Amino acid sequence: ERLNNDFQFVQVGRVDPKKVPASKRRKNFGEIYYQFESADASSQAHRCLECGNPYCEWKCPVHNYIPNWLKLVSEGNIMRAVELCHQTNSLPEVCGRVCPQDRLCEGACTLNDGYGAVTIGSVEKYITDTAFALGWKPDLSDVKWTDKKVAVIGAGPAGLGCADILVRNGVKPVVFDRYPEIGGLLTFGIPEFKLEKTVMTRRRKVFEEMGVEFRLETEVGKDVQLQDIIDEYDAVFMGMGTYTYMKGGFPGEDLPGVYDALPFLVSNVNRRLGFEKDAGEFIDMKGKRVVVLGGGDTAMDCNRTSIRQQAASVTCAYRRDEANMPGSRREVANAKEEGVKFLFNRQPIAIIGEDRVEGVKVVQTQLGEPDENGRRRPEVVPGSEEVIPADAVLVAFGFRPSPADWFSELKVDTDDSGRVNAPEESEFAFQTSNPKIFAGGDMVRGSDLVVTAIWEGRQAAEGILDYLDL
């Protein structure tokens, strides 16, 4: 018999969905987590204490109604749960897979204090995957169509979040993307072992049936001019991401065998999805000693992709300690299980080699006193220089904004670092200095998370609806 909620979390501990064993994962690109069985999803969801003031909900960037849908799952009511999920989130099955829950919803769960947080992310994924398998589709039969149409530039999470809200309010979204598939970094950055690509192709069909139109392999500024789009549409949303790679600024970064993280990951996706135009584009780590520089999500994805490409060894050098890594703890743990060797407190000072890369020279660092933001900056330990031998180096230091040259012509202002100015708190949320153009996601906030991009896209759509007086 089912226990009262007050005791369920003591009787039933946190159980994550099962993982594929690490030995198999090393040779396989598929997702590593199995789906919950329905009884497990229900008993895990039932652990929720239904706190009066749910911290998880506040910490979740889209403010999902978490305790409410957990209750519905514990009662077996998937169809109502999936409707509720979609009231706040355009891609719940994606967030359930890739959000760093330990820093967001689950980190704020009351049970995280000793008992193990409720498995919120896995339940969110379970709800949407199960509902889709049962044939669920968003019901737009009550939508009153207007005569308005809005152009969305970028089919990443920000653009998709925006299109979702627009179409649900009777506004026709036409989404332009230079890539041959929707998803932005969900498809062309985040690897399959975190997010299988069928998740996005399934979502594309759903969006198309809802009335979203995609114009893929169409680069704005090249294949079509933004001014023409502005003239044709009632408003424009830009969710174009950040694609300028950060450099280390040390010698040897241009040696053959040194690669930026994203081209490496994209070349892997292109080969696996059949989008490769030229076999020479593929960056192959088979048999190589790979050194990955960086400690965020992108670095983890490079580590684990290299392992799957059968690298001889993969070493990840990061300048802070493990506790100060910016990426999700879950993914660091997964990388370790798969055989990635971590060198913490190592700062690269040069990439060395005659004609091509032969190694990375690093110094050891220790953390100094906290600065005004509480962040402890690394300081060099004298005499600690060493060389890590390498046949290939992947640089994963993050991304800077990439403002297009046509922004200024169209009076779209950016800040000093190149981020588009589009304040959330203004008359029309996320409106840029050009009243007809709105923007959100990484190009506004700097490279961040999938779920924050979704939030900004959705909020910008609300701003557009207000602007169009709908």
Which parts of this chain interact with ligand SF4 (CB under 6 A)?
60, 62, 64, 66, 89, 95-96, 99, 101, 104-105, 120-121, 124, 451
What DSSP string runs through 313-351? EEEEE-SS-GGG--S-HHHHHHHHHTTPEEE-SEEEEEE
Q: Please state, in angstroms and rounded to a whole number, the distance separating the CA atoms of residues 279 and 269.
A: 13
CB of 371 to ligand SF4, least distance (A): 28
Position 193 contacts ligand FAD (CB under 6 A): no
Position 207 contacts ligand FAD (CB under 6 A): no
**121 touches which of ligand SF4, ligand FAD, none (CB within 5 to 8 A by kind)?**
ligand SF4
Q: What is the dihedral of CA 293, 298, 302, 307, to 10 degrees?
A: 110
Q: Which residues of 387-399 are buried (b: 16+ CB within 10 A; e: fewer)?
A: ebebbbbbbbbbb
Among 190, 200, 388, 392, binds ligand FAD (CB under 6 A): 190
Among 109, 450, 464, 465, binds ligand FAD (CB under 6 A): 450
Position 184 contacts ligand FAD (CB under 6 A): yes
Long-range contacts of 339-342 (CB under 8 A, 24+ apart): 339/22, 339/26, 339/307, 339/314, 340/292, 340/303, 340/304, 340/307, 340/314, 340/315, 340/316, 341/313, 341/314, 341/315, 341/316, 342/315, 342/316, 342/318
| Whole-Å CA distances, 2 to 36, 68, 156, 299 | 19, 18, 42, 43
CB of 404 to ligand FAD, least distance (A): 6
Position 61 contacts ligand FAD (CB under 6 A): no
Q: Please state, in angstroms and rounded to a whole number, the distance separating the CA atoms of residues 244 and 399.
A: 5
Place of tokens 């992709």: 305
Other beta carbons within 10 angstroms of residue 228's beta carbon come to 11
Contact 173, 196 (CB under 8 A): no
Position 258 contacts ligand FAD (CB under 6 A): no
CB of 9 to ligand SF4, least distance (A): 18
Nearest to 309 by CA among 265, 341, 356: 265
Among 36, 126, 176, 233, binds ligand FAD (CB under 6 A): 176
Nearest to 153 by CA among 215, 110, 222: 215
Among 17, 61, 189, 257, binds ligand FAD (CB under 6 A): 189
| Whole-Å CA distances, 97 to 78, 92, 120, 152, 285 | 18, 9, 10, 25, 26
CB of 252 to ligand FAD, least distance (A): 23
* Radius of gyration for the chain, computed over Cα atoms and rounded to the nearest angstrom: 23
Among 159, 248, 359, 401, binds ligand FAD (CB under 6 A): 159
Contact 265, 399 (CB under 8 A): no
CB of 458 to ligand SF4, least distance (A): 12
CB of 450 to ligand FAD, least distance (A): 4
Among 107, 211, 221, 446, binds ligand FAD (CB under 6 A): 221
Position 337 contacts ligand FAD (CB under 6 A): no
- Give the residue with the Cβ less far from ligand FAD, 164 or 442: 442
**62 touches which of ligand FAD, ligand SF4, none (CB within 5 to 8 A by kind)?**
ligand SF4
Contact 297, 305 (CB under 8 A): no
Position 154 contacts ligand FAD (CB under 6 A): yes
Position 103 contacts ligand FAD (CB under 6 A): no
Contact 86, 52 (CB under 8 A): no
CB of 57 to ligand SF4, least distance (A): 8
Among 40, 93, 164, 442, binds ligand FAD (CB under 6 A): 442
CB of 429 to ligand FAD, least distance (A): 16
- Give the residue with the Cβ less far from ligand SF4, 64 or 414: 64
- Give the residue with the Cβ less far from ligand SF4, 131 or 412: 131
Q: Please state, in angstroms and rounded to a whole number, the distance separating the CA atoms of residues 304 and 194.
A: 10
Output phi, psi for 191, to 5 deg. -70, 165
Q: How many residues of this chain interact with ligand FAD, rule: CB under 6 A? A: 37
User: Which residues, numbered 262-321, are part of the site for ligand FAD (CB under 6 A)?
Assistant: 262, 265, 297-298, 301
Contact residues for ligand FAD, defined by CB under 6 A = 98-99, 153-159, 176-179, 184-185, 189-190, 194, 219-221, 239-241, 262, 265, 297-298, 301, 441-442, 447-451, 453
